[in-house]
Structure 1
């Protein structure tokens, strides 16, 4: 299968790929059953980012020309037949049954809902597919370093949980969660000035599930919600899939712009305000205390709930984080999401929600239709881990180590970065939020960096609107200091190559731009 990419024309690369494969299929040069190259392999052969090929394949699936199959890859299906392909010969005499030879495979996309189209997130899929690839350095996935996982401690705990006769740890459990774990979280949160009751805590299969459940409970298609911009791409995807109309408020160095938020609240009646006030993803911003107070004041004044997403506050590297909105809330307006994923193991998929009883009742009803309850066994193990004081001990260790990795990335950028590349150093969390030199787009850099086996997330993935094209997010938590330094060297080399590459259409232009990522 020979494809040609023309970067000098305006047609996006993914549409060029889709058009050429479509023509080959309709001309029967790619017959039914033909297996298309894996997305990553085709991307490498064409010199494009994998997401470009993912988007092209997605278009061909929507056209009914290809279909992904587990274990078989993506294969060509029969091209849809037009009405002139049918005649009376397709039917048996005196019988309306269609001959087997005329039956075509179902084009499943014709049965999908509008919501299924809104769920498509090529950026998130690409990030997760990169896990385990040894030949490249990924600064994309925001997760703890595997080498810091307390595996020995969990091995001992798992042996105890799986002791003979302990069948309770493998039973169905209450939807709201394992009571001993919820009781521990109540006490743990109280030390962080969040005063709540055990019955107001729900255990989740990761805080991402909390976002999904809250969207199911609160959002009807067309409802308004408010988000800071940029914001967590996982939350953007959930709220878009629910059909929300998202109103955005920009950030500055103190966090969400409450002066602009008030203008929105005075004109609309949003279902809630979504924010990550502490070490925000992707910017690393820590909302100032005065902004937190003003945000709560506006929530009370306009009677709007706040959804506080707080995965990073325990990963602070300078001073102490500001108090959570939940700890400052005196009138029950804040719903609080937390997770063990950033502190310990993301693979455990274990988080929690603190909310008024009336809200938790609705979340429990929604959760029953999803997974009945979070894994009983995992909850038992986490309870024992926390009760033995191992969580706080682990946090002391990783804070120091992540600070070293952060400093390594900043030092490497200072050494290798060309003029115009800037970044913000956070006080905690996992990310450096970078601004590219004038004229360089993140999508262009992503393609060039992929050639050098280094990846990141382009800034536009964190924007609901059209911003972030000259921004990138780098995660420093997953790699050793040696790997971080090498990855930054490769990335800065890619930036320099773009800076030194003249635009093919103009001798007066220094920069060359590719198609947008999404």
Structure 2
């Protein structure tokens, strides 16, 4: 019998992605999926070439490219970020194979086995997967509608001496919360005081349906190092896998070398298509159409939830993003309900999976996506899901 190969010690920490596993199951015929953050095909823009567009099919762009990204895209990313309040040079931008790659690079940059790293509780599941793979001790900070508590943040920094903090301040995944302007400033002051590096993740920034403050915390920092992550997977086409980061000058060279060691460069034709879109006047109409489409879907989901979950759960109407975060009035573990739901052709994300392993288990939460299903399937799927929860209430 051949002996088992000896693998790295980190493989013992490697977990599968629950989101990806559910998405695979959600492809089954007849499945109504509220699980992943899948954009709606009807909301995605029809990309148009203009006389000023770069030819993305040119043989030049079929060869190897620069690890940093196409110069034309990096220049337009700097302009795009300036519209968000981020004053950065093109040389501070790095094009990624989706913003998930940026999380991976940040994990490689900051994390050794046992490294304390701060995050929200709950937080993005795939970020936990990446940080914990490299051995991070992820410490979760409770979320309110306004964000995390700056005073608690300072106390935790004093106590645990973390190496960095990972935040999703704008339409947070999974909760949908958007940090207030006052909270953003207060957090920036704390991070500057301790010179604690910030990893700020904003994949949902452009999906705004109500007027809220979206000032990047990175733009408020004066002393702390920072990494700002963005993506075009939610505004253009996710299959291209084009994301980006911008970073403070002290971190950028390390991130570039890590990308060089990882995938050499991001796909070049996709980069040129994104650069062309950023330069065209139609992008403002495209974004307006995207927001209006999702606003209607959000409102349809809220109406359907009111009719099906009104007596079972509490939730806030998200001002942006792609998700509702439900807190069940009976705090049951929703993970066992997933198998039952899938057997009834409904997929959802159990909320327990979004909490760091180092904290106390938090039961009775669910993340529901509203961008993918149509209104008829929404009502049907939520009715089924509500019935499953009713049938599995704990005995009082």
CA distance in 1: counterparts of 2:206 and 2:124, whole angstroms: 18
Asked if residue 377 in structure 1 is aligned to residue 269 in structure 2, the reply is yes
Distance in 1 (alpha carbons) for counterparts of 2:313 and 2:46 = 39
Give 1:123's aligned residue.
Answer: 18
CA deviation vs aligned residue, 1:452-484 (integer Å, no higher than 9, x gap): 211111111100134332100001011222222
Residue in 1 that maps onto 2:260 = 368
Matched residue SS, 1:143: coil
Shift of 1:280: 0.5
How far residue 105 of structure 1 moved from its aligned partner, in angstroms, is 4.3
Counterpart for residue 361 of structure 2: 467
d(CA) in 2 for partners of 1:169 and 1:301? Answer: 45
2:387 alignment partner in structure 1: 493
The answer as to 2:248 corresponding to 1:356 is yes
Q: Deviations over 1:51-101 (max 9, x none)?
A: xxxxxxxxxxxxxxxxxxxxxxxxxxxxxxxxxxxxxxxxxxxxxxxxxxx
1:470-512: CA deviation from partner (whole Å, max 9, x where unpaired) = 100001011222222221121112222224xxx7xxxxx35xx
The 5 A counterparts of 1:76-475 are 104-108=1-5, 111-151=6-46, 153=48, 160-162=55-57, 166-331=58-223, 333-417=225-309, 419-464=311-356, 465-475=359-369
Post-superposition shift, 1:161?
A: 2.4
Q: 1:122 to 1:218 in 2, by over 3 A?
A: closer
| Secondary structure in structure 2 of the residue aligned to 1:191 | helix
Which secondary structure state, in structure 1, belongs to the residue aligned with residue 84 of structure 2?
A: coil
Contact 1:458 1:469 in 2 (8 A): no
> C-alpha root-mean-square deviation of aligned residues, in Å?
2.2
1:24 paired residue number? none
Give 1:451 deviation, angstroms.
2.8
Indicate the structure whose relative CO is greater, using CA pairs within 8 Å and at least 6 residues apart. Answer: 2
User: Once the 2 structures are TM-superposed, how far is the Cα of residue 159 of structure 1 from its aligned partner?
Assistant: 10
TM-score when scaled to structure 2? 0.94
Give 1:289 shift. 1.4
**Retained in 1: the 8 A contact 2:351–2:363?**
yes
Change over 3 Å in CA distance of 1:236–1:250 after alignment to 2: same
Give the drift of 1:223.
1.5
**SS of 1:140 mapped into structure 2:** coil
**1:119 & 1:268 partners in 2: Cα distance?**
24
User: For 2:3 and 2:293, how far apart are their aligned partners in 1?
Assistant: 53
Q: Rg larger in 1 or in 2?
A: 1
Asked if 2 retains the 8 angstrom alpha-carbon contact of 1:462 and 1:468, the reply is: no
Structure 1 pair 156–207 and aligned structure 2 pair: CA distance change class (3 A): farther
Q: Report SS of the residue matched to 1:256.
A: coil
Q: Is 2:54–2:276's contact at 8 Å kept on the other side of the alignment?
A: no
- What displacement does 1:155 show? 12
- Residues in 1 aligned to 2:42 and 2:152: alpha-carbon distance in whole angstroms: 43
Work out whether residues 325 and 334 of structure 1, in 8 Å CA contact, stay in contact via their aligned partners in 2. Answer: no
Contact 1:452 1:494 in 2 (8 A): no
Flag the 1:209–1:156 CA change in 2: closer, same or farther, 3 A.
Answer: farther
Shift in CA distance, 145/468, structure 1 to aligned 2, threshold 3 Å: farther
1:154-212 CA-partner distances (Å, limit 9, x unpaired): 799999422xxx32111211111111001011111112211111101110111100011
CA contact (8 A) 2:207 2:321 kept: yes
**2:258 alignment partner, SS class:** helix
User: For structure 2, which runs of at least 5 residues remain unmatched after alignment?
Assistant: none
Cα deviation code 1:267-304 (max 9, x no counterpart): 23211111001111010111111211111111111111
Structure 1 contact 157–385 (Cα < 8 Å) conserved = no
Gaps of 5+ in 1: 1-103, 504-508, 511-518
Aligned residues between the structures:
394
Question: How far did 1:411 drift?
Answer: 0.3
Return closer, same or farther for 1:152/1:366 CA change in 2, 3 Å cut-off: closer
